[in-house]
Every structure is written in structure tokens, then in C-alpha cells.
Amino acid sequence: MHRFANPARFLRIARVCTPLLTLSGLVLAAVGLWIGLFASPPDYQQGDSVRIMYVHVPAAWLASGGYLGLAISSGVALVWRHPLAGIAARAIAPVGALFTAICLVTGSLWGKPTWGTYWVWDARLTSMLVLLFLYIGYLALASAEDERHGGDVTLERGAAILAIVGVVNLPIIKFSVEWWNTLHQGPSITLTKSTIDPAMLLPLLTSLAGFSLLFGGIVLMRMRAALARQMVEARGRRLAEAYA
Amino acid sequence: MTHAEFIYPSYALTIAGMVGVLAWSWLAMRRAEAAAAKAKRR
Amino acid sequence: MSRLKPKHQRLVLLCAALVALGGASTLALTALGDKATYFYAPSDVFAHAPEPGTAIRLGGLVERGSVAKQPDGLTIAFRVTDNAREVPVRYTGIVPDLFREGQGVITEGRFGPGGVFMADTVLAKHDEKYMPPEVAGSLHKVGRVG
């Protein structure tokens, strides 16, 4: 029975949190992007193309943060067979994949006016492309497994293992700009300091917070949808058994 | 604005992607929860 | 091991797998070494001279005061430095907007006669500093930048 108790408690919390995260996220993201586009200074080197940072950095952060969430959920799903973990992993994956793609395209649109090229095969850009392939591989494996197991996420193996193995790519993305010479610049924000002017840090952190809240809201929505679908299916099976 | 031909597409893509996935997830949730409520009443 | 609950067995297995995964990737990355590097600095080029005629990427800062336009109006000559060694470079074509003295640059090409690097492409490398022009201007005055 504990299997159903936890999703029920989760649903009670999720019903409160979904609108809170979504609405606050929408407001913060809108404010951050507005400041970024119209009310922040251009950069002394890049001119206005610095404004692409206010969409590129949140996308990059959600791409890698989302993958960490996917890997942790997959680990919990493998070890504890908790149904919510498999559902969380499936809810995160397509959203993380979308932001990885957005990160790659906006980075490319920044690279052309700044570096003079849309794409190079340096360690940072390549490892970020590998992240997109990991997401796509996870989505393909997970959907194949769901089909085989009739949607029972507690039976999955391969997709979760892929997600966990892929986690080695995260430190490679993070440290690629320090381990190797890359075209991509080093980190601007570390735990102790920032080399970004406060007038640019404000829209960056605002849109970062807004997009993160929205990401949370979207993941909760997708988890609620999956739980509702599961409940309908379980009820249908029980009805069919009762009539058989 | 300099480099507007790179900046506006970046913002358009990000906003469209975010709004798109938000609307898709919201509608899927509404539909699934409505179906679940109906199944419960039966 | 046999007395562990299946849940704990799986947890031990997962932890062991993670340790093995970490070890394997560390080994792989060490073996990869600087093969994953996108460009070489002037000091690297002096330490391990590339075969003449092989294409490499050379990166560093455009040395201040080294940029000279050639008489044909299209070719520029400049020096790339890592503040230890410098390499003379020649390039014919349009340079990116951010190409300027004191800024990062990555050139792709090969060494020609006389140790001059003949570049086919020039990319600007951006650093991790972001600031408005007014701030950059005042920093220049007090001498904190450049």
C-alpha cells in the first residue's frame, strides 16, 4: 500500500506547487528577459550580442541541471523501484532535451557575431552536443521500454542505466574549458566571484531563477499527467478483471 | 541594436520553446486529470 | 552479501558501478590528454614544433602594437603571444569584429618559411569578462584592464 500512499502525498503537494512555480517563474523570466533585451547595457567588446547570454546561460544551466535530475531519478528508480522516480525521470527528459537544443542554437547565434563562426568542434561545444544525444538516447530507450512493459516504469532498466552512465559527461562539460584549450571562454561565475558587471548579472540571475522555476512547474505538470494516466489504466485493468 | 539579426532569433526560439513545452505539458495534465476524475466517478 | 536485502544489494551494485565508471572515465580522459585541445599556445608550439606543412590551430593574445596592414590592403600581419613566447602570423581576409590588439584569437593554418604562421582562418576568442563600455573605459583609465 505504501506504493500508493506516496504518490497521493506527492499529488497533494504538487497541486499546490505547480501554479506557484509556474506563475512566479513566468513573472521572473519575463522581467529578466525584458531587462536583458531593453534595459541593460551593451558589452564593451561584444556590443549588444551579450544579450544572448540571458537566454543561453539559463538554457545551458537547465540542460545540465536537468540531466543531473534525470540521472538521480534513474538511480533511485533502479535501487528503490520507487514509481515516482521513474515518472520524474520521464518528465524531466524531454524538457532537458529541449533546453539543450536551445542552448546549442543560441550559443551558435552568439558565436557567429562574437567568434566569427557558428560552430567549432572544441571540447565544450562537442560535450554539449553529446549531452543532447544522451537525452535523445534516453527518450528512445525509455519509450521502447514503456511499450514493452505496458507503461510500468518500475520495470525499466536500460534507459535508467544509460542516464546514469551519461552522468560522466556533466563534469566534462563543466571543466572542459579548464582542462583543455577551447574557443569557449572560461566560467564567469564561480562560487566566490563573478566577472560579470552587476548591471548584466541582474537580468542574468533573474532569468536564471525564472527559467528554473518554470522548469520545476513543467516537470510537476508532466508528473501529474503521468500519474493520472496510470490511475486510469489501473482502474481499467481492475474493471476488466472484475468482469472477466 | 547591433547584431539584432542574431539576438531576436535567440529570444524568439527560447520563448517559443518555453511557451510551447509549457502549453503542451499543461494541456496534457488537464486532459489526463480530467480523464482520471471521470474514471473515479464511474 | 546474501543477507543484504535486494534493495541494498542494488544500492551497493550502483555505487560500485559509479566508482568503476568514474575510474574508467578518468583513465580515458588522461589517455585523451591534450588530443582534445582545440588550439596550441605559442609556448606549446616552441616546446613541440609541429611538422612543417601540417595544419594546426594557434591561439593566444594579439600582441599590442603588432598588427600591421600589408600594402595589398587585405593581408594583415600580427604576433600571437601567450605572454611567454610569440609567433608571427599572416592572414589574408576579413577578421571578426572582436579581433583587436590585446584580445584573444585562434588562428588555423600552417607554418611557412621563416617560422611565419600562415593562417587560413582567424576566430576571435572572447574572455569571461562582461561589462558596459563606461565601466571598461573607467577601468582603462585607472589601469586595471589591459
Picking from B3, B22, B31, the nearest residue to A47 by CB comes out as B3
Is residue A217 within 8 Å of A21, Cβ to Cβ? yes
- The values of phi and psi at residue A141, to 5°, are -65, -45
Is residue A203 within 8 Å of B7, Cβ to Cβ? no
Classify each residue of C44-80 as buried b or exposed e, where b means 16 or more C-beta atoms within 10 Å of its C-beta: bbeeeeeeeeeebbbbbbbbeebbeeeeeeeebebbb
**pLDDT tens digits, one per residue of B1-42:** 889 999 999 999 999 999 999 999 999 999 999 999 998 887
Output the 3-class SS for A91-137.
HHHHHHHHHHHHHHHHHHHHHHHHCCCCCCCCHHHHHHHHHHHHHHH
Q: Spell out which residues of chain B touch residue A21, defining contact as CB-CB under 8 Å.
A: none
Q: In this predicted structure, what is the pLDDT of residue A105?
A: 98
Three-state DSSP class for A157? coil
Which residues lie closer than 8 Å to C137 by C-beta, 6 or more apart?
A44
Q: Taking the model in full, what pTM does it have?
A: 0.91
Which residue of chain A has the CA closest to B21? A95
Average pLDDT across chain C, whole number: 86
Q: In this predicted structure, what is the pLDDT of residue A3?
A: 52
Three-state DSSP class for C82? coil
Determine the residue among B18, B30, B41, B42 to mutate to test chain A binding: the one whose Cβ has the most chain A Cβ atoms within 10 Å.
B18
Q: In this predicted structure, what is the pLDDT of residue A4?
A: 47
**pLDDT tens digits, one per residue of A111-128:** 999 999 999 999 999 999
Average pLDDT across chain A, whole number: 92
Is residue A128 within 8 Å of A96, Cβ to Cβ? no
Picking from C7, C22, C38, the nearest residue to A182 by CB comes out as C38
Q: In this predicted structure, what is the pLDDT of residue C144?
A: 46
A46 at interface of C, judged by CB pairs closer than 8 A: yes
Which residue of chain C has the CA closest to A115? C124
Picking from C25, C38, C129, the nearest residue to A183 by CB comes out as C38
Q: Spell out which residues of chain A touch residue B42, defining contact as CB-CB under 8 Å.
A: 235
Which residues lie closer than 8 Å to C66 by C-beta, 6 or more apart?
C77, C78, C79, C86, C101
Arithmetic mean of pLDDT, C96-124: 90
Q: In this predicted structure, what is the pLDDT of residue C139?
A: 63
Res. C95 pLDDT band, cuts 50 70 90:
confident
Q: Spell out which residues of chain A touch residue C98, defining contact as CB-CB under 8 Å.
A: 45-46, 114-116
Rounded CA-CA distance A84/A7 in Å is: 7
**pLDDT tens digits, one per residue of C36-50:** 889 999 999 888 888
Cell of C42: 605559442
Arithmetic mean of pLDDT, C60-68: 92
Q: In this predicted structure, what is the pLDDT of residue C140?
A: 57
Is residue C126 within 8 Å of C104, Cβ to Cβ? yes
Inspect the interface and report whether the beta carbons of A221 and B26 lie closer than 8 Å.
Answer: yes
- The values of phi and psi at residue A101, to 5°, are -65, -45
- Where chain A has pLDDT below 50, the residues are 1, 4
Cell of C84: 611567454
Is residue C121 within 8 Å of A44, Cβ to Cβ? no
- The values of phi and psi at residue C116, to 5°, are -90, 130
Rounded CA-CA distance A216/A13 in Å is: 13
**pLDDT tens digits, one per residue of A189-230:** 887 888 899 999 999 999 999 999 999 999 999 999 999 999
